[in-house]
Each structure stands twice: as C-alpha cells, then as structure tokens.
Structure 1
Amino acid sequence: MLGAIGLDEAQEAAYRALVSAGAPDVPALARRLAPGERDTGSVLRRLERQGLAARSPGRPGHWVAAPPGVGLGALLTQQRHDLERAELAAALLAQEYRAAAVEPAAHDLVEVVTGAAAVAQRFLQIQLGASEEVCALVTGTPVAVSGTDNHAEERAAERGVRYRVVIERSVLDRPEGVTELTAALARQEEVRVVDEVPTKPVVADGTLALVPLTGRSAEPAALVVHAVGLLELLSGLFESVWRQALPLRPGPHDVAGRYPDGPDAADLEILSLLLAGLTDASVAKQLDVGLRTVRRRVRRLMELAGVTTRMQLGWQAYERGWVTRDPQPGAYRGRPRHRPAPATDCGGGPAPAP
C-alpha cells in the first residue's frame, strides 16, 4: 500500500510493526517480522534515512516510529512534487513533439506493434492514458490480453473514465465470458451486444486507437493510430455498431415506478440480458438467482405484456418502453437518433433482421 511513496514490503512491514509495538529493540522487532536481526537492522537504517524511524534516546538499542502524519506526510509531499515536475516535463516534451511534427510523415501517424507483449503493453497504455472515455469493439478471440487480465480497465474505471463496449455474442459462449461481463457491469461500464463485430478497435478519448491485425502470422500485431482521419473513421465505425447493438441494461430506469402493476427492476434486468442474447441459465448465473426464478419472471413479463411467445415479448418490450437502445438523456454526445425496432427475441438465439 505504501509502495507508491517509495517503501518496499520489508520497510512497510517494519514501519507498521514499529507503530504498533511502541519502542521495540531489534530482536523483538525481528521476531515480529520473521527475518533475522541483521536484515531487520538494515531495514531500520533505511527507514531512519527516510525519516520514518529513529533510535530511542532514552532506551539504547530500541527504535521508535516517526509519527505517520509527519514522516509519511513528508514522503507524500515529495512524491507530489516529483509528479508535478514529471507532468511539467511531459507537457514540455509534448509541446516540443507537436512543434517538430507540424507536417508529420504518413508513417509517423500509424505505429506497427508486433509481439504479444508489445501489443498488450500498448493496449494497457492506451487505457491508462485515457482521461474521459474508452470505446471498444470486442470479439470472442482476444489477441494478447483477455478480459480477466485487463487490470488497466479496472484502474481507468476507478479514475472515472467512461467505458462503452460492444461485444459479439461469441464472447458469451466462452467459459469466462459471463464472468468478465459481470465484472464490467459492476464497474458501471456500458455494454452492448451484436451478432458479430467487423473488427476490434480500441479508441481512447478520440485521440488514439489500437487496431489488432489479423493474418496468417502466428505473432500478434496491431496498429497504434494517431492520424486524425483514421481516428474519425474508427470512431464512426464504433458509433455505427453501437447504435445497432442491444444494451445489457434496461433503458428507462424509472419505468418500474411509472406502472404500479408493471415490471420491477429485477424484471427489467432479466429482460435486457435475455434480449442481448444470454440464455436463461447464463442470466441466472450472472444475477446470482435460481433458474426457476428467471423463468418465473419471464412468464410474469409475458402475462404483463399479454403475449404467448418470447418473440412477441421482445417486440412488446420495445413498444412499451421497457427497454431501449437509446442511452439516458445527456449520456450520448453524438447526433440524436430514433428508437430502432426490436431485433431479437428473448430466447438467447441469433437475432433476426429488424
């Protein structure tokens, strides 16, 4: 936890032990930490140089911890100062780069990255560098980084970066697909589903994109795109697929409150997942409810809609405004669009043409 301000695991453990133990001597502290006295003494001397520990003036051989507000506060202040200097250096370098690249060559606008490790690194960097939004089209065959390995996604979401993701249905067929989907929805990501995505670009803030390359080569490769024209093309492609995709969340969040005898929030959650193509069993697993509960609620929804088939339920869900492709007001920054007709039934199969 304190590694961010320069303490390794041994130093952090020793400092915590000093704080809780009061003024132990080296043997007593070594017994708390498990390493030998020599290693403990070395760690204490490093803490002393950092201003986090001191020898007890009244008890020779004993050590005391510096008050956390003083010792750790000083390190935090220094860390902030170093970060500010690094940010200034990055800004100056970016300014210098832009000045030197007023008319960049075409090959400077697209970077070719080869190798699984290099592609994974660029993929993580693009997300960590995003400040507003990451848009992605996802297939069921990851090139270098799987959903469970994408820790940058979690860190970016924690910083408030918005994620809009369209997955193809084959993602839900993978063993870990529903698990990854559940984690994404728990982070408040906006996820939609289509039968198939044309390619799988990742676009960050509309200023940088990563496009995996497919071919006969066994070595993964990708393009890192800086060119404005190509970025606009990739962003336009994403928005086109996004508009046609089915949401994995109910549309109007207040629909349950508008109709006393209508569907409740749990009904809408189940309905939206079924419309997106998940099976009854997958919905039950994701929502951590029983399969019978899912089927009972679907029967209730059919009764409320006055229909006898799941295909009819899918149509009525859109007609009644229970679910919608449209985002909440103000959530979409593009052009206004009309509500599309429904494109699937509630059976988890492929969507027929609208």
Structure 2
Amino acid sequence: MLGAIGLDEPHEAAYRALVAEGAAELGALARRLGRGEGETRAALHALELHGLAARSSAGPGRWVAAPPGVALGALLTQRRHELDQAELAAALLAEEYRAGGERTPAHDLLEVVTGTTAISQRFIQLQLGAKESVRALVTGAPVAVSGMENDAEEEVVGRGVAYRVVIEREVLHQPSGLVELSAALGREERVRVVDEVPTKLVLADDTLAMVPLTSRGPEPAALVVHASGLLDALSGLFESVWREALPLRLGASAGEFDEGGEPAPDRTDLEVLSLLLAGMTDASVAKQLDLGLRTVQRRVKGLMELTGSTTRLQLGWHAYERGWVAR
C-alpha cells in the first residue's frame, strides 16, 4: 500500500512491525518478520534514510518507529511535489512537440517496435496514455500480444476511459475467451463480433495507433503510428468494422428486458442468443456456456415460442425489434 511513496513490500512490512511495537530490538524484529537479521537490518537502514525509523538511545541494536502521521505525511508531500514537477515537465515537452509538429519529418510519424517484450510494453503504454478512448480490433491468433490478456485494461477503464473492442469469432472458441470477454463486459466495455477482422489494431484517443508490421523472422515487429493521415485511415478502418459487427452480451451485461411487461428471456437465454447470432453452433454454445446441447436447443425453442417465430432467422429479427440485441 505504501509503494507509491517508495517503500517496497519488505520495507513496508518492517515499518508496520516497528510501528506495532513502538520500539524493538533487531533480533526480536527479525523473528517477528520471519526474516534474517541481515535482511532486517538492511530494511531498517532503508527506513532510516526515509525518516521512518531511528536508532534508539536506550541501547545498541534497538530501533524506534517515527510517528506515521508526521513521517509519512512528509513523504507524501515530497512525492506530490515530484509528481507536480513531472506533470509540468510533461506539459512543457508536449508543447514543444506540438510547436515542432509542422517541421516533423515524415519518418518521425512512424515508429518500428521489435520483439515480443517491446511490443507488449508499447501496447500497455498506449492504453495507459489514453485520456478518452481506446479502440481495438482483436484477432483470434495474436503473434506478440493478446488483446484479451491485458493487464492495463482494468486500470484504464477505472479512470473513465471508454473501450470499444471488435473481436473475430475465433476468440469465442478459445478456452478462456468467454471468461475474459465477460470480465470486459462487466467493466462496461463495449464488445462486438465479426467473422474476421482485417488486422490487429489498437487506437489510443486520436493520437496513436499500433498495428502488426510483420510476424516473419526471428522476432515480431509492430508499427506505432502518430497523428497523421495514416492514423486517420486506421481510425476509419476501425469504425467501418465496428459498424458491421454484432454486439455481444454475456454475464452481467445480459440483463433482463421486460419494459413492456411481457415475459422476458433470462440472462442465460440472452447469452445463448448472443452467441448464436455471433455465428456459433449449438454445440459450440453448449460447450462455452457449460450447458447441455439439449438445454441450448430447448432454450432456443423457448425463445422462438416467446416471440412467435417459426425460424431462427425470424427469432433474430424479433430479438432486434424487442431490444434483446442491438446493431
């Protein structure tokens, strides 16, 4: 919890233990922490440098904790000042960058990133830098980064950044595909499905994009595109794919629709319907939702009876008309 002010886990544990004791001998503190005396001594010296601990005058090897309200307050104030300075520096650099935009050589608008690790890091950075929106096209067979295995996503969504994601149908058949998609929909991300996306793509606001460059050779490569006509074209590509894709409803996103007071499908019905309209077979839906094949077919039959449909094509039309699915 105190990592934001520069304390790692061993240092924080030592400080907490020292605060609990008020004052303690080195050996006693080491036993309380379950660590060796050498490691504990190093942690105490680090706390001393931060002003969080001091050697006691009561005897050698005895340490006392600095009052948290005073010591931690000073560190927080210092860190806030450092962040303010960093924010100011970033604003000045951004202004310089904009001022030099007209004389930026064309090759500076493109950045080649090579290697799985570097591509993954850049992928995370693009999202963390987004202020308003992240848009992505996700393929079923990523080369370097899986769009559905995204450590930054939850943090970025928590800041109010809107996510729109188009996945190709193959993602639904992956072992953890529906679990990860349900989590994304639970974070109020908007997800749509198409047969196949033209390329993997991630767009951060209208300022940066990243697309695969090549998967051949010993290492994959990706292209980071800065604000330019090419970026506008990639944005247009995403929007065209988004318009043709089918919305996906799963888990918490599949609420009940009974605005007219009529019988309504339950959450599982809507999950079945959403996956069927995304192009999955009855058997695939049953496997992904851990249902029996006959259960899926019985639910589909129930939806057809509910809407008065005689074919699944009619069922899809009625589902759209009743707001169970949306374009």
Fold-level similarity (TM above 0.5): yes
SS at match of 2:236: helix
Residues 148 and 181 of structure 2 are in contact (CA less than 8 Å); yes or no, is this contact kept in structure 1?
no
After superposing the two structures, state which structure 1 stretch, 281-290 or 174-183, moved more.
281-290
Sequence identity percentage: 69
After superposing the two structures, state which structure 1 stretch, 122-131 or 33-42, moved more.
33-42
**1:70 equivalent in alignment to 2:70:** yes
**1:25 equivalent in alignment to 2:36:** no
The aligned length equals 325
Unaligned runs of 5+ in 2: none
For residues 160-199 of structure 1, the aligned pairs below 5 Å read 160-199=160-199
**Who is 1:129 aligned against?**
129
Deviation at 1:81? 1.1
In 2, the alpha carbon distance for the partners of 1:11 and 1:266 equals: 48
After superposing the two structures, state which structure 1 stretch, 203-212 or 154-163, moved more.
154-163
In 2, the alpha carbon distance for the partners of 1:52 and 1:9 equals: 15
After superposing the two structures, state which structure 1 stretch, 214-223 or 187-196, moved more.
214-223
Letter in 2 for 1:217: G
Deviation at 1:286? 6.4
Q: Map Cα deviations across residues 301-329 of structure 1 (whole Å, 9 max, x no partner).
A: 1111112433331122113332111xxxx
**1:271 equivalent in alignment to 2:273:** yes
Unaligned runs of 5+ in 1: 326-354
Deviation at 1:291? 6.6
Deviation at 1:144? 1.1
After superposing the two structures, state which structure 1 stretch, 45-54 or 231-240, moved more.
45-54
For residues 49-128 of structure 1, the aligned pairs below 5 Å read 49-56=49-56, 61-128=61-128
TM-score (norm 2): 0.88
Q: Map Cα deviations across residues 69-97 of structure 1 (whole Å, 9 max, x no partner).
A: 32222222211111111111111122222
Change (3 A) 1:271 1:210: same
**Who is 1:139 aligned against?**
139
In 1, the alpha carbon distance for the partners of 2:76 and 2:292 equals: 49
Residues 256 and 264 of structure 1 are in contact (CA less than 8 Å); yes or no, is this contact kept in structure 2?
no
Change (3 A) 1:279 1:14: farther
Change (3 A) 1:293 1:186: farther
Change (3 A) 1:112 1:147: closer
SS at match of 1:256: coil
In 2, the alpha carbon distance for the partners of 1:288 and 1:24 equals: 56
**Who is 1:332 aligned against?**
none
SS at match of 2:223: strand
Change (3 A) 1:205 1:15: same
**Who is 1:346 aligned against?**
none
Deviation at 1:298? 2.9
SS at match of 1:307: coil
Deviation at 1:279? 5.0
After superposing the two structures, state which structure 1 stretch, 62-71 or 139-148, moved more.
62-71
Which one of 309, 312, 321 corresponds to residue 310 of structure 1? 312
After superposing the two structures, state which structure 1 stretch, 301-310 or 234-243, moved more.
301-310
SS at match of 1:181: helix
Residues 178 and 282 of structure 1 are in contact (CA less than 8 Å); yes or no, is this contact kept in structure 2?
no
For residues 143-162 of structure 1, the aligned pairs below 5 Å read 143-147=143-147, 149-162=149-162
Change (3 A) 1:271 1:148: closer
Deviation at 1:167? 0.3
TM-score (norm 1): 0.82
SS at match of 1:255: coil
In 1, the alpha carbon distance for the partners of 2:273 and 2:149 equals: 29
In 2, the alpha carbon distance for the partners of 1:121 and 1:96 equals: 25
